[in-house]
Structure 1
Amino acid sequence: MDNTNLRLDRRLLDIFHYLHTHAEISWKETNTTAYIADILRSEGIACYTFDDCTGLVAEVGSGQPVIAVRADIDALWQEVNGTYQANHSCGHDAHMAIVIGTIFSLKDHVKKGTVRFIFQPAEETGGGALKMVKKGVVDDVDYLFGIHLRPAEELPFGKMTPAIHHGAVAFLKGSIAGHDAHGARPHQTVNAIDVLSAINEQLKWIKFPPFESYSVKMTYMEAGGQSLNIIPGTGKFGLDVRAQKNSVLLDMQKEVEKKLDGLAQLLQVNIAYDWIDVTPGAEVSPEAEEYLRQGIIQAAGKDRLAPPLTTSGSDDFHFYTIERPHLKASMMGIGADLKPGLHHPDMTFDKRAIQLGVEALAATVQQALQGAE
């Protein structure tokens, strides 16, 4: 690594450390947005923010083609060492540092075409990408690239994949509306705990062919209070529904609705529900995947190249291609010795992966600019 890269690496580590220690949750990334904008403007990079949401867009170069790169900027809200706080346990702090480093690398080397950098809010809630689509930030984009650190169990340190085939996911929030009764008079109400138990059991009877990858499970339930002699008539619950294919997820949602409506009729109780944060599975462009493949090889050599990765996790990155079918997109996975796993409150990774990501992403963008001319 030459002296220029050494200086870049140290500066990026400082940027990463700031972002890591100043994490902000979805739609609240105000300081994060301002911090990134200040850094880029100090480098003479054109960027703009939004009046009604967090996030920002930066550009290098002008004209066609338009190559876009997306970084997610929000953190999770979770308990860390006994305290609830915003926490970058999904690696978004690293993603931001990698994309900022890519801007530094490319800012004086884009001779033809535009490279647009989208610092997107609210990936964790599944709505940030849709907001950026509505803002028109990808309407004229030819290729879009994303990045994500991968757990050690999926990808070893230094290996990079040109495509992550995320699954589709939908979350459901539901409620049971009834009335409480005295513990000595169970005939006067429908016990919400019994209803919750019945829902949980019915979910296990949702079956699809074994060659499809899918799961449905209850991840939240609430009923009852401090008084143990009261039978609760009301309750709340939440479901996590996943499938590798978007079409299978849609079928699963219909089956879940049938189960809930059937139980409501059978048990004579009001079960209300709403689907929230539905995130589609990956629609990977072969052309975009190939540019990432060539960028990885150019930057790091064939030994670093890993095959495309399939994971049951999800990412709202794939809304871009669902909403704008003309868009050719793929997401690069970066092996970072990430342990114990994504979303674990004590997640750690090898920081050298930041520089590896910068070099591979910058090479990919140059490949796409040349190939899309």
Structure 2
Amino acid sequence: MLNQKIKEVIQASNEELITLRRKLHAEPELSWEEVHTTEFVCNYLDQLGITYRRTEPTGVIAEIKGGKPGKTVALRGDMDALSVEELNKGLSYVSQEDGKMHACGHDAHTSMLMIAAKALNKVKDDLTGTVRLLFQPAEEVAQGAKAFVQQGAVQGVDNIFGIHIWSQMETGKVSCLPGPTFAAADLFTVTFKGKGGHGAMPHTSIDASVVASAFVMNVQPVISRMIDPQLAGVLTIGKMTVGTRFNVIAENAVLEGTVRCFDPETRDFIEQQLKHYAEQTAALYGATATVDYIHGTKAVINEEKTAKLVQQVAAQAFGEDVLYEEKPTMGAEDFSFYLSEVPGSFAVVGSGNPDKDTRWPHHHGRFNIDEDALSTGAELYAQYAWSYLNQ
């Protein structure tokens, strides 16, 4: 099923792959600002002679047409960085942009897809069908995939495959299980309005800080006591803005948070209960509450047939012992927008190596990857596309 030429090209391109990743790492760009990254990818595709089109405002969609007609498979790599200050000051390729960093591995995803494109282009005459390459912006704000879908990224696509580097997994291990893998992620804002007043005369006021505190302390039973414990959910309040001065009773309190789960019905139930708890808590103290609930990404749910093909390809390419069963994460991925349109799967490739200090969590200022994982990801991209089209 595998293509030996693909393996040879990627093995021969290992130094180039590392160089590409390090350049991207040193020059991070935030969501919707990936102008230079887009240009960098386009220049590389020009060198390979691969046709592409730019998307708005950033991003690239390219195609490699095989020598024989057939289906179309899409490969996705995201490109954006995060508003994180890099703490790996000893690296030769440390971020050159203050307050910006590739702290989630998107520099790896882009470089792996570039080298996969190189390998697939070498064997295009023997491909049965078309490979579409999605260099996607704005994953970190959960908007890029949706915008790509609207701009025709998966029009005519039969199947899609994506990869995420994963620091919690041993370098080179591959996990792609059927079913849920990344959670749905929603955002909410709860605004409590009380009655302000002097800190010395609380009886004349309605203290919004007390209302907000009571809500934070009491809303967690929605998760621990009201949903089926086998249908996991997370409700986190990450930000509270309350009050204006030490001796003024707060009139307003604004809370921001996120909800994570896999099951759509559980998602709807948590939303309903969140609003109920906010309104009832406010009423208890004579205040009012408004809840703004925004549905973000859906859960990433791997199609069984596609996930098993990924496992088969990984085992044939790297050996049976490379396969790993990583538990589903409450982290979110906007790859779910593609899976709402076409069948496919999303794999994680391990890059954690304690000897190289690459076990830091994603989004941390010390995040880095074991670059030995890059060739695994690049080959998995390319061999999957080859196998899907020529199976």
1:277: how far off?
Answer: 5.4
2:364 is matched with which residue?
Answer: 344
State how far apart, in whole Å, the 1-side matches of 2:110 and 2:120 are.
15
1:284 to 283, 299, 302: 302
Q: Percent identity?
A: 27
AA matched with 2:333: D
2:48 is matched with which residue?
Answer: 43
State how far apart, in whole Å, the 1-side matches of 2:306 and 2:101 are.
31
Contact 1:60–1:115 (8 Å) recurs in 2: yes
2:65 is matched with which residue?
Answer: 61
Instruction: Give unmatched runs, 5+ long, in structure 1.
Output: none
State how far apart, in whole Å, the 1-side matches of 2:8 and 2:314 are.
22
AA matched with 1:58: A
State how far apart, in whole Å, the 1-side matches of 2:17 and 2:123 are.
19
Q: 1:28 to 1:275 in 2, by over 3 A?
A: farther
1:358 is matched with which residue?
Answer: 378
> What's the secondary structure of 1:336's corresponding residue?
strand
Query: In the alignment, is residue 72 of structure 1 matched against residue 78 of structure 2?
Result: yes
2:165 to 128, 143, 149: 149
1:210 is matched with which residue?
Answer: 229
**TM-score, length-scaled by structure 2:** 0.87
2:313 is matched with which residue?
Answer: 295
1:101 to 99, 109, 115: 115
State how far apart, in whole Å, the 1-side matches of 2:115 and 2:264 are.
34
1:287: how far off?
Answer: 1.7
Contact 1:169–1:249 (8 Å) recurs in 2: no
Query: In the alignment, is residue 332 of structure 1 matched against residue 338 of structure 2?
Result: no
RMSD of the alignment, in Å? 2.2
1:240 is matched with which residue?
Answer: 258
Contact 1:150–1:336 (8 Å) recurs in 2: yes
1:11 to 4, 7, 16: 16
- The runs of at least 4 consecutive aligned structure 1 residues that moved more than 4 Å come to 1-7, 81-84
Measured against aligned partners, the alpha-carbon deviations of 1:25-72 in whole angstroms (never above 9, x if no partner) come to 11121221111111111221111112x321111110155300000111
2:389 is matched with which residue?
Answer: 369
1:223 to 217, 242, 256: 242
Query: In the alignment, is residue 122 of structure 1 matched against residue 156 of structure 2?
Result: no
- How many corresponding residue pairs? 364
Contact 2:77–2:113 (8 Å) recurs in 1: yes
Instruction: Give unmatched runs, 5+ long, in structure 2.
Output: 90-96, 353-357
State how far apart, in whole Å, the 2-side matches of 1:6 and 1:113 are.
24
> What's the secondary structure of 1:28's corresponding residue?
coil
1:160 to 161, 174, 183: 174
**TM-score, length-scaled by structure 1:** 0.91
Contact 1:58–1:117 (8 Å) recurs in 2: yes
Contact 2:82–2:101 (8 Å) recurs in 1: yes
Measured against aligned partners, the alpha-carbon deviations of 1:211-249 in whole angstroms (never above 9, x if no partner) come to 221121211111123x31112212221112111323312
AA matched with 2:323: L
> What's the secondary structure of 1:126's corresponding residue?
coil
Contact 1:126–1:278 (8 Å) recurs in 2: yes
AA matched with 1:298: Q
State how far apart, in whole Å, the 2-side matches of 1:295 and 1:217 are.
38
1:85 is matched with which residue?
Answer: 99
2:150 to 118, 126, 134: 134
AA matched with 1:354: L
